[in-house]
């Protein structure tokens, strides 16, 4: 068995963020749009933290699909943007595939809006070319919930691994016992699982009460 | 890898629209009936646009199942209708299978009401005969949501690819950079993803304000 | 008791269609956007059929809220459009209220996007000024389902009558035994309750089988 | 390809109805209990109609699990009941397996309460022994919806075919063009898809109006 | 306080069952259609049991709305049917109101398909004329769930009491300690709350085990 | 304004726990049955803690409705049980009303299974007799969710105050600054809001880490 | 009619933000916790923008309830914090009520975690003392969805106005035609309705394409 | 076929309970937290009953994740706790894997919070190393429902068997006809399927009425 215990090797990974555009986001009906923005942000920040190559693209951004959301390149400034010339499946764009090949890496982490199109099509294509493909379903965004249920079955059938944002961040992070630990905690609590932020705040407060004394002293009022 | 990157080759495709009948439509509980009509319309229009053969059939249309919805043959006037003589699985009807074989094509795109019967049965049969089969689950319509969840698992297990209306239109369209681009946009916005129609209207208005000036001039009223 | 048996008197009614704009529609999360368009269309067509005055307005249509959807004025060409100068509650716009008063009618039928703002605010204001107010909740469109639940309680508490699109069409129509009967049937089946369209198709087919003979004759194949 | 086009051969089928007991039914949370009773009734009636062997069993019926619902043996009077001596997986009961083997048939249609236990366990066991297994998920009944979602994945993974009540009835029926056609229609409309009953009633009425004249003559009242 | 403790006096009650027609039933989306049939059946049977007058009517039954479901007059054979001449609000039909007045009773129990129209309109009208009105919402059936939520608020605001099928049966029954007790139990368990049927079966079995000994004797097999 | 600021005065309150029986519980479909048991337990414990009189009753407990769940009298040992002689509305039972009157209190807190019957009927009756009535909807349990939505509207219309288990416990508790504070915390965390139990455990652990040092020392492993 | 047309007069308003604490937030089950934080932030920012007094308080913040979320005082730095000495209903705390009275204002806008306790109790109390009370239900957060449905009915019955975050922001803002217009737009798009942010981005891009030319020029690639 | 008929052999099984911590529990959104505690308790008790080895671990329990819930080691006192040094996938911790290997068993039953991370990662790793892996999805707890749907597909694709708490208890129990039968019944009724507890209570009461006579004698009151 490989040294990764069957998990992703970050050094072999490329992240493909496809068509996360403002117009398309307002057609998404399976993930709340603010959650979707945060999930894409989380993945972008993790890419920066771990120096994983990111390739982005947009589908006709001069039209109603709208611009890429700024978070992608803001939080993954090293991302390479590849313009498309109309192709719906970004794998049909030779410039995009070349950019993937240039990395020399064989594990693709794909998110794309719409899930059943922009995520699923290149996933199917890449699996057929021998890549290990992970589909981050909830960082993609689809036009209907039923379409997402269908797509999970489709990509799994094709041999791509369906995953979610928390899982992909954790799989890349691998251990809390690393110098970037607190940065991962911030990414997860600010962008993925907001209940975690409450946990951190409550934890800090509970300890402060021991260290610094209570904020309110009920005894005084009895 | 094939030149289609694992996607459907429209020149190898036949579309089978099975039992989209008014009576059956009022038994559908997994897709709103107006959406279902639109999804079938979208597929019919795409078939016309790309000259993909369409074969239709109906189950006992003289009885309570009711007539085929008129949209099918209206928007795919080249469709061939094959009457059935009672068979529930249209693949049991030799006339129907002959019609498929006549096309010489090996990729079947199937939608049928009810999903777990009229779509699933011929899908299973055709896979066993060596066809590449795509099941458009949300253009089918089923009597219960649970039955649809079960059917997605069943057809995927059998080797048919489950897909949705937006995805099948996009997979057949392949690129926006084609002469039929605007017709595809109209199909998607009018019949599949109505949020897209709003995007187009808002996009046009935003640009008109720059080109032609605002409709309302708030400054006049301050 | 009044001659209307407590129902709306169409001769006393004015319809207010407020801020049904393409941009705002893509923020709606309680009614599917295509249904919403159809419900507004239905009300517009009924207004034309019964010569009920319609007053429309838009909130900053030159900005991201987008243009009024074209259906409103297309299907209610007699509608009067009153530009707003920034007021969120259209009742704060004296020009709008004047237009209402000019009709001399005292029953207001209000739909507006967003429900909890553009429908609810003028409803509350108009009740306070003594109008009989009906709120068509599902022809309005709101940013969250919970906000709609809250708004139903709010407007009912204020004394406005919450109603739905089917009910308002039926309440204005009053009887099938009128010359416009078939037009109402078309409005309801095409724009409000699509299951009804299937009923009409199946009904026609069932009678055609008796009158014209069956389409398929199973006996021939046994 | 086999003469059944990949569908079940009724002459090779045995139906196993496991633990459909009154007490267990009140623990079911994924299917409304009245629907569940009807689905089991439908399968029992189809078994009688097609002379398919039925084997039933119950889990500790003298205790809180309660008695078998009477519909099973009432509508499939030829069913053989095999008492169990505590085994949860009925395949662990040699008497039960012997009864299956006696039929000489190799296709098992299984429904059982609870789905994730009484249906899933013998399904897994029988697949391992080389049977073709169909699991009727919605005629089973489970203690939670999540457990059902999990079980669909489990039995599909194991190689059993997940299916639903309407689909299994239709797959066994195969064609409307048979002497039992109207009996199948009654089973489906009375026990599986109640919307179908409305279709039949409306269909009959529509034709009666043509044949016998209208029930109400609006003209008289105008 | 009245001798009924604020509950309905069955001797003052009339039941109005309005437009429970096969075609309309297939447009219902808030109550499963089989449940709806059962709820109407339950109310009809209770009317017979307690000799409560029933008045029925249908909206254009010769058209796509379809015939009254047969259960109404089958289980309430004393019901009086009043044809309508197109009026949507049955209170606009003088013949219908006369029939109500003839009973001399002042408490109306109303169910009608669609809820927001056929139940709500006469409810509002009758309250205005001084009747005590109870609306059986789940024995009515509406075209959308949102429309039902809205209608509950509307009729409550108007002063009619919203209620459900179980509650209305129980309110009319008043006590188990009456000669018709077992008939009420059968109505509730067969037509309203099917879990109750399981309770009765399990109860009988549990007692039979004590009286007659167990069906299976596990001791023999250990 | 009263000294309670419009809140319940515990010294004027009586708690009526009606028909919380094992059989009826298995007909409940709006509240998970384990939650329901816990909510009833919470109210019973609070009654004991605050010495609020409790009156219980059961509907035909020798039949399929089953016995009262033992928690009621276990945790409110001072509760008075009043047998009923068949009356569905417990307010029709003079012995029960006498027991209420004996307390001399005028504020009734009512929970009963089924909500739309056993809770709602006595609530309506008691309001009419001048009592202040609070209905604990989620400690009652109803046969359908729609019936619960309807019942909330009905009891609010009648003048009873709808409330929930957490709210009624908090309203009776009034302040954390009392000797029973920790007992209330235990009731809320064990029986009402289980997330609260996690909060308490995490809080304790966070403080223990400060006081006693960490359980695991990651530094040792770097 | 008042000059506010029945809407809130911001100059008469006080905002009460009660118990928005990290621990309590993790018990909330009716609003996603990140949305809840944003809604409270939006209200805090609006208070600052319009100089509306804000009074905050916390329930036992030294214990498991955890600290106030920092957003409240960060975005409403003028807020006055009133410690509580155990009272659950903050209206039972004389210091808190004094702080309200000091403002001399009579319109209270209340949000509090949990909705059915911390929002509802002071709302009921304040209405009884003659205040106009608005309850911002979705900026409160409750332990169950059913409890929220119940609470909407309770506060409306008591005479408080239920409202939502978007509505309260809009009601206070009153018009877009004011100097703070863009700040309100930012509050709504960043914190309340995230779809609005996409609208703004797409709008800007659409206009930029006209003004600055397209980002991608498809013509070059044909 | 093996003597287990394809079911788990308890003598070859090890149970891995991973990261069931109080803090993490309050991030769970797919299973109610009290249900989750009970499911983990059930598995712990079964492990004790059948002497199945249990290995537990926690992720950074000194931080916001919080302590292991006490139920795990309370009800499985033989469980071995292995501290982790930051690894997210517990299979990356050599001490943990050694502990598994020490048992010499090859069938792993895994539950872990969060499902898509703490359950899924070691499941994937262990399958790759040749273990038979069962994933108890509803005894795990995930941060979103969509993530759970995705994870079921992922682990099934990897070759691990997805299962639920009731199923795993029943699969390990194998037969009711064993000395621990009543202990299993108690585990299932107290911790897994609470409806079962009601069944047992009602069953006992029904039999007591026969044996000991009725509790209430209605005849006395007629």
Q: Tell me if G131 sits within 8 A of G159, measured CB to CB.
A: no
Give every CB contact of residue E68 below 8 A, 6+ residues apart in sequence: E20, E21, E56, E58, E61, E81
Residues of C in contact with D206 (CB under 8 A): 202-203, 206-207
Using CA atoms, how far apart are residues F112 and A180, in angstroms rounded to an integer? 55
Contact: E86, C1; criterion CB under 8 Å: no
In a domain, H211, yes or no: no
The tens digit of pLDDT for each residue in F163-211 reads 999 999 999 999 999 999 999 999 999 999 999 999 999 999 999 999 9
- Where is pLDDT greater, at B219 or H221? B219
DSSP string, D11-73: GGEEEEEE--BHHHHTT--SS-HHHHHHHHHHHHHHHHHHT--EEEE-SSTTTTT-PBPTHHH
The residue-averaged pLDDT of F124-150 equals 98
Give every CB contact of residue F179 below 8 A, 6+ residues apart in sequence: none
The residue-averaged pLDDT of H119-128 equals 98
Q: Tell me if E64 sits within 8 A of C199, measured CB to CB.
A: yes
Q: Tell me if B61 sits within 8 A of B68, measured CB to CB.
A: yes
The tens digit of pLDDT for each residue in D83-134 reads 999 999 999 999 999 999 999 999 999 999 999 999 999 999 999 999 999 9
Using CA atoms, how far apart are residues A86 and C184, in angstroms rounded to an integer? 44
The 3-state DSSP class for residue E67 equals coil
Cβ count near G122 (within 10 Å): 32
The residues pairing with B108 across neighbouring beta strands, listed in sequence order, are: B14, B133
Put simply, whether E64 touches F (Cβ < 8 Å) is no
Put simply, whether E137 touches F (Cβ < 8 Å) is yes
Please tell me what DSSP assigns to residue D175: B
Q: What is the least distance, in Å, from the CA of C104 to any CA of chain A?
A: 41
In a domain, E193, yes or no: no
Contact: F66, H205; criterion CB under 8 Å: yes
Would you say the ipTM is above 0.90? yes
Provide the pairing of β-strand C107-112 with C13-18.
parallel
Nearest to A210 among F177, F210, F218 (CB): F210
In a domain, E217, yes or no: no
Residue D218 has pLDDT above 80, yes or no: no
Q: What is the least distance, in Å, from the CA of D170 to any CA of chain B?
A: 7
Q: Tell me if E106 sits within 8 A of E12, measured CB to CB.
A: yes
Contact: F32, H33; criterion CB under 8 Å: no
The tens digit of pLDDT for each residue in C99-123 reads 999 999 999 999 999 999 999 999 9
Put simply, whether C3 touches E (Cβ < 8 Å) is no
In a domain, H142, yes or no: yes
- The string over A129-145, giving b where at least 16 C-beta atoms fall within 10 Å of a residue's C-beta and e elsewhere, is bebbbbbbbbbbbbbbe
The residues pairing with E136 across neighbouring beta strands, listed in sequence order, are: E163
Residues of F noted as catalytic: 118
Q: CA nearest H177: which of A31, E220, A176?
A: E220
Q: What is the pLDDT of residue F220?
A: 58
Q: Do chains H and C touch (3 or more CB pairs under 8 A)?
A: no
Q: What is the pLDDT of residue F1?
A: 42
Strand order in the sheet with H132-136: H80-81, H54-57, H13-18, H107-112, H132-136, H161-163
The residue-averaged pLDDT of C142-163 equals 98
Q: What is the pLDDT of residue B222?
A: 47
Which of the residues in chain G have pLDDT under 50? 1, 222
Task: For residue C81, give the CATH number of its domain.
Answer: 3.40.50.850
Using CA atoms, how far apart are residues F167 and F162, in angstroms rounded to an integer? 10
In a domain, B88, yes or no: yes
Handedness of CA E46, E48, E52, E55 (dihedral sign): positive
Segment holding C41, helix H or strand E:
helix C33-50
Q: Tell me if F216 sits within 8 A of H93, measured CB to CB.
A: no
The tens digit of pLDDT for each residue in E79-98 reads 999 999 999 999 999 999 99
Contact: E202, H207; criterion CB under 8 Å: no
Put simply, whether H210 touches E (Cβ < 8 Å) is yes
Q: CA nearest B185: which of B169, B208, B171?
A: B169
Give every CB contact of residue H1 below 8 A, 6+ residues apart in sequence: D125, D128, D129
Q: What is the pLDDT of residue G222?
A: 46
Using CA atoms, how far apart are residues C102 and C122, in angstroms rounded to an integer? 17
Put simply, whether A84 touches G (Cβ < 8 Å) is yes
Using CA atoms, how far apart are residues C49 and C180, in angstroms rounded to an integer? 8
Contact: G6, C125; criterion CB under 8 Å: yes
The tens digit of pLDDT for each residue in D129-176 reads 999 999 999 999 999 999 999 999 999 999 999 999 999 999 999 999
Residue D63 has pLDDT above 70, yes or no: yes
Q: Do chains A and B touch (3 or more CB pairs under 8 A)?
A: yes
Residue of H nearest to D147 (CA): H164
Using CA atoms, how far apart are residues A120 and A100, in angstroms rounded to an integer? 17
Q: Tell me if H39 sits within 8 A of H138, measured CB to CB.
A: yes
Contact: E125, C166; criterion CB under 8 Å: no
Residue F221 has pLDDT above 60, yes or no: no
Q: Tell me if B26 sits within 8 A of D189, measured CB to CB.
A: no
Looking from the CA of H159 toward its CB, the CA atoms found within 13 Å total: 13
The residues pairing with C13 across neighbouring beta strands, listed in sequence order, are: C107
Chains near B with 3+ CB pairs less than 8 A apart are: A, C, D, E, G
Tell me the pLDDT of chain B averaged across its residues: 95
Q: Tell me if E20 sits within 8 A of E40, measured CB to CB.
A: yes
The tens digit of pLDDT for each residue in F109-134 reads 999 999 999 999 999 999 999 999 99
The residue-averaged pLDDT of E37-56 equals 98
Q: Tell me if H111 sits within 8 A of H118, measured CB to CB.
A: no
In a domain, A73, yes or no: yes
Marked catalytic residue, from E118, E135, E193, E198? E118
Put simply, whether B67 touches E (Cβ < 8 Å) is no
Contact: C151, G164; criterion CB under 8 Å: yes
Residue C3 has pLDDT above 90, yes or no: no
Using CA atoms, how far apart are residues G85 and G91, in angstroms rounded to an integer? 12
The 3-state DSSP class for residue C8 equals coil
Q: CA nearest C109: which of C24, C58, C42, C43?
A: C43
In a domain, F164, yes or no: yes
* Peptide bond just before E179 cis, omega within 30 deg: no
What's the burial of E214, exposed, middle or buried (CB within 10 Å: 0-12/13-18/19+)? middle
Using CA atoms, how far apart are residues H120 and H140, in angstroms rounded to an integer? 10
Q: What is the least distance, in Å, from the CA of B222 to any CA of chain A?
A: 32
Using CA atoms, how far apart are residues G96 and G126, in angstroms rounded to an integer? 12
Contact: F84, H216; criterion CB under 8 Å: yes
Q: What is the pLDDT of residue E216?
A: 83
The tens digit of pLDDT for each residue in A6-40 reads 999 999 999 999 999 999 999 999 999 999 999 99
Residue D216 has pLDDT above 60, yes or no: yes
Residues of A noted as catalytic: 118
Q: What is the pLDDT of residue G99?
A: 98
Using CA atoms, how far apart are residues F96 and F102, in angstroms rounded to an integer? 10
Give every CB contact of residue G102 below 8 A, 6+ residues apart in sequence: none
Distances in Å between the Cα of F208 and the Cα atoms of A185, F196, H24, H63 are 22, 18, 18, 11
Using CA atoms, how far apart are residues B165 and B38, in angstroms rounded to an integer? 10
The residues pairing with F187 across neighbouring beta strands, listed in sequence order, are: none
Residue E221 has pLDDT above 80, yes or no: no
Q: What is the pTM of this model?
A: 0.97
Using CA atoms, how far apart are residues B139 and F40, in angstroms rounded to an integer? 47
Put simply, whether H25 touches F (Cβ < 8 Å) is yes
Segment holding H81, helix H or strand E:
strand H80-81
Q: What is the pLDDT of residue E1?
A: 42
Using CA atoms, how far apart are residues A179 and H41, in angstroms rounded to an integer? 36
Residues of D noted as catalytic: 118
Tell me the pLDDT of chain H averaged across its residues: 95
Using CA atoms, how far apart are residues G23 and F13, in angstroms rounded to an integer? 31
Beta strands of chain G (E only): which ranges?
Answer: 13-18, 54-57, 80-81, 107-112, 132-136, 161-163
Contact: F85, H221; criterion CB under 8 Å: yes
Q: What is the pLDDT of residue G1?
A: 42
Contact: D214, E35; criterion CB under 8 Å: no
Tally the domains of chain B.
1
Contact: E202, H203; criterion CB under 8 Å: yes
Tell me the pLDDT of chain F averaged across its residues: 95
In a domain, G19, yes or no: yes
The tens digit of pLDDT for each residue in D14-28 reads 999 999 999 999 999
Put simply, whether B114 touches D (Cβ < 8 Å) is yes
Using CA atoms, how far apart are residues D222 and B94, in angstroms rounded to an integer? 54
Q: CA nearest A138: which of A21, A53, A33?
A: A33
Distances in Å between the Cα of A51 and the Cα atoms of A81, A134, D160, G35 are 16, 18, 45, 31
Q: What is the pLDDT of residue A145?
A: 98
Put simply, whether D34 touches B (Cβ < 8 Å) is no
Residue of F nearest to H25 (CA): F198
Chains near G with 3+ CB pairs less than 8 A apart are: A, B, C, F, H
Put simply, whether G25 touches A (Cβ < 8 Å) is yes
Cβ count near F146 (within 10 Å): 22
Residue ranges making up the domain that contains B58: 10-179
């Amino acid at each position: 068995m490989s040294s990764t215990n069957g998990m992703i090797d970050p050094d072999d990974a490329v992240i493909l963020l496809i068509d996360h555009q403002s117009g398309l986001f307002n057609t998404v009906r399976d993930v709340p749009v603010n959650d979707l923005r945060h999930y894409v942000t989380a993945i972008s920040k993790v890419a920066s933290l771990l120096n994983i190559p990111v390739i982005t693209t947009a589908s006709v951004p001069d039209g109603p699909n709208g611009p890429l959301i700024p978070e992608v390149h803001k939080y993954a400034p090293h991302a390479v943007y590849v313009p498309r010339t109309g192709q719906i499946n970004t794998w049909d764009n030779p410039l995009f595939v070349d950019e993937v090949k240039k990395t020399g890496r064989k594990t693709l982490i794909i998110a794309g809006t719409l899930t059943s199109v922009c995520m699923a099509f290149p996933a199917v294509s890449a699996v057929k070319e021998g890549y290990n493909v992970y589909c981050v379903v909830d960082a993609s965004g689809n036009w209907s919930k039923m379409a997402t249920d269908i797509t999970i079955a489709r990509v799994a059938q094709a041999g791509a691994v369906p995953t979610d944002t928390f899982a992909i961040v954790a799989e890349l992070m691998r251990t809390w016992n690393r110098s970037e630990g607190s940065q991962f905690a911030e990414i997860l609590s600010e962008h993925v699982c907001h209940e975690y932020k409450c946990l951190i705040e409550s934890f800090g407060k509970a300890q402060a009460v021991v260290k610094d004394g209570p904020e309110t002293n009920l005894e005084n009022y009895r």
